[in-house]
Amino acid sequence: MGGPRPGTRHQSVFTDESKLDLNYIPDHLPHREEELRFLRLLFRFALENPEEMSQRVLITGPLGTGKTVLSQRLGLLLEDEAWRRGVRLRYVHVNCRELRGSLFLILRRVVKVLQPGFPGRGYSPDEALEALMERLEEEGCHLILCLDEVDALVEEEPEALYKLTRIQEARVGLPRRLSLICITRRPETLARLDPSTLSTLQRNILRLRGYTKDQLLDIVRERALLAFRPGAVSPQSLELISELAAEEGGDARYAIDLMWRAGKYADRSYSPLVLPEHVRRAAVDLFPALRREVLHSLTLHERLLLLAIARYFKSSEEAYARVGEVAETYRVICEEYGEEPRRTQLSRYLRTLGRAGIISTRPSGAGGRGRSTLISLKGVPAEDLEREVMRWLEGEGGWVTR
Ligand SMILES: Nc1ncnc2c1ncn2[C@@H]1O[C@H](COP(=O)(O)OP(=O)(O)OP(=O)(O)O)[C@@H](O)[C@H]1O
Ligand SMILES: [Mg+2]
C-alpha cells in the first residue's frame, strides 16, 4: 500500500480516537431506544417522588450487547433531568469484577464518588454501608447504584446483595434512598442468592439480545462518523465489520474494537482509507481473550500469572497445566519483574482469569499426585497471549492497578 509521498505528511484516518474508547458513552444508542424508554419508565418515580419508593432492576444479555452503556446512558439522563427539576438524585456505576467482588471495596468506591474527601480506611463493610446511608440522608439524595458484572460480587460474597436490598427495610419510617441496577452476563450465578433477594431482582428484568448484522452496521456507521475522517471507513469495511461481529454473537464491542484496530492498520500502511484488508488483519489479532477491556481490568499480579500461563503452554504440548507447574513459572516471572510472588492469592487470581473468559479451570481427578486444579487456555494461542500481555506489562496498554 506504499508509503507517504515525499514532502507530504500522512494524515491519520482518525479524527477523534477517544470516541472508540471503552469508556465513551455515546449520546445516541441505535437499537436500544426502546430499552432505554423502558428503564426510564421504571425510574420515573426517582424524579417524581424519590423518597416514596426504591427500585431493583436486573439487566442481562450476552457479551457486548450494550448492558453497561445502556445503564450509563440512563444514569446521565436521569441525573440531568433531576438537576433540572431540582431533585437530588445520583447515579453511580461500579464494576464488581474490577473491585474483586468485594462489597467493602464497592461501598468505599461509592462513598468516595459521593464524597471525594472521604478517608475510606478503618471502616468495616457494615460501617461503610451505614456511612453511605447516612451520607444520603444528610444530603436528602436518592442513589441509583449500578452493580455491573454483579456475578463477581455474588460469587465472592453471596450475602452482600441481601445486605444491600435489606438496608431500606431496616430504616423503618425513613425515606427511601437506595435503588439498585444489577447487570450480569450470567444470570444463572444469581441462583446462589437467597430466594427473597432473587425474587425482588427478578421482578424487573431487561433481557438484551445479541445485535443482528444490520443493527451492528447502524452502530458502527454512527460511531465511524464520530471517530474517523468523513468517508475514511469504506462501506465495504463497515459491512465486513458488522458481519464479523454478528458471527461473534452480535457483540458491539468486538465491532468497535475491530474498527479501531483496522484504523490502526490503515494508518500504519499510510492508507487514507480503512479497507477490508485492514479489517481482516485486525480480526486475526483480535482473539476474544485479548480484547482491550479484558486485559485492562487485570491487576499487575494477575497479568504476571497470565504471562506464566502463556509461557507454560508455549513450551508444553499438554492441554492442561497443574497449578503447581504454573506457580513455578509465575515465581520466575515475578523475579524477572522484581515483584514479590503472592502465592496465597493464586486461586483468587485464577478465578478472576476464569471469569474474564481467558482460562478454564477444573479439579483434577484424584490422581497419583493428589488433587489439584487443572488450568487450560481458552481460544487463544499461547504465543499471541504472551505477546499481548508483555505489551501490557511494558506499559503500552496503559496503567496497571495493584
Ligand atoms: N446500541 C449501541 N449503540 C452504540 N454503541 C453501542 C451500542 N451497544 C453497545 N455499544 C458499544 O459497544 C461496546 C460494548 O457495549 P457494552 O460495554 O455496554 O456491552 P456489555 O453488554 O456491557 O458487554 P459485557 O457483557 O462484555 O460487559 C461499548 O463500546 C458500547 O459503547
Ligand atoms: Mg458491560
CA–CA dist 231, 30 (Å, integer): 20
CA–CA dist 354, 351 (Å, integer): 5
Last residue of a domain, one of 207, 226, 258: 207
pLDDT tens for 148-182 read 999 999 988 989 999 998 887 777 788 999 999 99
The pLDDT of residue 6 is: 56
Pocket residue to mutate for ligand 1, from 69, 98, 220, most atoms within 8 A of Cβ: 69
Closest ligand 1 atom, residue 32 Cα = 1
Ligand 1 cavity residues, CB under 6 Å: 22, 26, 29-32, 61, 63-69, 185, 219, 252-253, 256
Which domain, by its residues, includes 353?
292-393
Q: Does 316 lie in the same domain as 296? A: yes
The CATH number of whichever domain residue 265 belongs to comes to 1.10.8.60
Last residue of a domain, one of 140, 174, 207: 207
Could you tell me the mean pLDDT of each successive run of 10 residues in the chain, 402 residues long? 58 96 94 98 93 92 95 98 96 93 92 80 81 90 96 91 84 88 92 87 93 98 98 96 91 93 95 94 74 75 94 89 94 94 92 86 68 82 86 58 34
Q: Does 251 lie in the same domain as 184? A: no
Element (H, E) at 2: none
The pLDDT of residue 399 is: 36
Domain count for the chain, please give it: 3
Residue 350 placed within a domain: yes
The CATH number of whichever domain residue 326 belongs to comes to 1.10.10.10
* Distance of CA 16 from the midpoint of ligand 2 (Å): 23
Helical residues (DSSP H) of 160-212, grouped into ranges: 160-170, 195-202
Q: Does 260 lie in the same domain as 183? A: no
pLDDT tens for 351-380 read 989 888 888 888 876 555 556 889 998 777
Q: Does 202 lie in the same domain as 59? A: yes
The pLDDT of residue 373 is: 87
* Distance of CA 26 from the midpoint of ligand 1 (Å): 10
Tell me the CB-side half-sphere exposure of residue 166, using CA atoms within 13 A. 11
Closest ligand 1 atom, residue 21 Cα = 29
The CATH number of whichever domain residue 193 belongs to comes to 3.40.50.300
Q: Does 377 lie in the same domain as 306? A: yes
Q: Which ligand is nearest to the CA of 215?
A: 1
CA–CA dist 267, 262 (Å, integer): 9
Closest ligand 1 atom, residue 208 Cα = 21
In terms of Cα–Cα distance, which of 196, 264, 184 is closest to 232?
Answer: 264
Q: Does 39 lie in the same domain as 107? A: yes
The pLDDT of residue 395 is: 63
Q: Does 95 lie in the same domain as 52? A: yes
Last residue of a domain, one of 152, 183, 207: 207
CA–CA dist 327, 99 (Å, integer): 24
Residue 402 placed within a domain: no
* Distance of CA 255 from the midpoint of ligand 1 (Å): 10
Q: Does 200 lie in the same domain as 167? A: yes
Element (H, E) at 179: strand 178-184
The pLDDT of residue 329 is: 95
The pLDDT of residue 398 is: 39
Element (H, E) at 206: strand 205-207
Q: Does 195 lie in the same domain as 182? A: yes
The pLDDT of residue 128 is: 85
Burial 298-337 (b: 16+ CB within 10 A, else e): bbebbbbbbbbbbbbbeeeeeebbbbebbeebbeebbeee
Using CA atoms, how far residue 135 sits from 24, 114, 127, 270, 284, in Å, is 29, 8, 12, 55, 50
Q: Which ligand is nearest to the CA of 73?
A: 1
Helix/strand/coil for 393:
helix
